[in-house]
């Protein structure tokens, strides 16, 4: 597996290469088996000068339930914007969108999300809105922490955790709320290798424990594709390709190779 990172090329403009047919057919599967589906979705912002600036252009993709998908692309290609739309934090201007609910967004910096003094309190924090008994809360917190391999840390003060452990607690918080779609924004950017692998494996184990949960993971690290069932590749606000992880890996590597050939020729 090529260990190169997209970040290495992300500040450069890749050459325009022919794009293989990549848009999903509307008949790509049973609609109930799709966790995320969008067709011709557009998102624009209004600039201070009152002009419309397109951020996402005609994005179409479908992600089956129960799978881990990665979302890749150079800086500024629209990954975080797309993820925020899937999370319901932004609204598209045009197009069709369907995301299974409940859904949860996990931020890049866990300090923005893990806020309670102990691990168990933090995971229980979002459950107050559900009118659950004490025993139900305790059982949900235990199951969620078990799924991300953090059960032994139940009583730990959160400030004693590593970045990767905090990420896993943030994911457990989403699981405790019975979320069906996990939207994960560059969780491993600031982590060392051990924490990086720990967080990815926690997500994989979570998905293995329930066919109901789907995860979409934004990353710059091409090597993380090894853990994915599928992937989406974006450039300049467009979904260029989506499908099985190895095809996306081949596509990105070919694009990088063509770019390097172009600058040295």
Ligand X SMILES: Nc1ncnc2c1ncn2[C@@H]1O[C@H](COP(=O)(O)OP(=O)(O)OP(=O)(O)O)[C@@H](O)[C@H]1O
Interface with ligand X (CB under 6 A): 45, 55, 73, 75-81
Specify the residue, 77 or 113, whose C-beta has the smaller distance to ligand X. Answer: 77
Using the minimum distance from each CB to ligand X, give the nearer residue, 44 or 162.
44
The residue with tokens 């252009």 is: 57
* Beta carbon of residue 7, minimum distance to ligand X (angstroms, whole number): 8
- SS3 for 47? coil
193-209 vs 134-147: helix crossing angle, rounded to 10: 120
Q: Which is nearer to ligand X, 55 or 158 (CB)?
A: 55
Q: Shortest approach of ligand X to residue 77 CB, angstroms?
A: 4
Q: What's the burial of 215, exposed, middle or buried (CB within 10 Å: 0-12/13-18/19+)?
A: buried
| Complex with ligand X: residue 86 or 251, whichever CB lies closer | 86
CB closer to ligand X out of 78 and 92: 78
Q: How far is the CB of 44 from ligand X (least distance, A)?
A: 10
User: Quick check: 36 and 98 in contact, CB under 8 A?
Assistant: yes
Which pairing describes strands 214-218 and 68-72: parallel, antiparallel, or unpaired?
parallel
* CB of residue 145 to ligand X, shortest distance in Å: 29
Nearest to 196 by CA among 174, 243, 163: 163
Task: Give min distance, CB of 55 to ligand X, in A.
Answer: 4
Q: Shortest CA distance to 92 belongs to which of 155, 53, 44, 164? A: 44
């Amino acid at each position: 597996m090529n260990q190169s990172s997209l970040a290495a090329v992300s500040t450069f403009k890749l050459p325009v290469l022919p794009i293989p047919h990549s848009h999903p057919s509307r008949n790509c599967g049973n609609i109930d088996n799709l966790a995320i589906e969008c067709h011709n979705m557009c998102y624009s912002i209004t600039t201070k000068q009152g002009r419309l600036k397109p951020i996402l252009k005609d994005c179409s993709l479908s992600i089956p339930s129960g799978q881990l998908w990665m979302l890749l692309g150079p800086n500024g290609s629209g990954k975080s914007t797309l993820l925020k739309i899937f999370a319901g934090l932004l609204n598209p201007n045009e197009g069709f969108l369907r995301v299974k609910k409940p859904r949860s967004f996990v931020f890049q910096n866990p300090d923005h999300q893990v806020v309670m003094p102990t691990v168990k309190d933090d995971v229980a924090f979002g459950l107050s809105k559900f009118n659950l008994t004490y025993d139900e809360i305790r059982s949900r917190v235990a199951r969620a922490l078990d799924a991300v391999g953090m059960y032994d840390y139940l009583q730990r003060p959160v400030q004693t955790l590593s970045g990767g452990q905090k990420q896993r607690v943030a994911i457990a918080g989403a699981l405790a709320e019975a979320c069906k779609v996990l939207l994960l924004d560059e969780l491993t950017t600031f982590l060392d290798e051990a924490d990086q692998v720990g967080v990815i494996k926690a997500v994989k184990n979570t998905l293995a424990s329930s066919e109901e949960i789907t995860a979409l993971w934004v990353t710059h690290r091409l090597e993380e594709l090894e853990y994915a069932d599928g992937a989406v590749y974006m450039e300049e606000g467009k979904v260029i390709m989506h499908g099985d992880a190895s095809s996306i890996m081949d596509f990105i590597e070919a694009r990088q190779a063509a770019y390097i050939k172009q600058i040295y020729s």
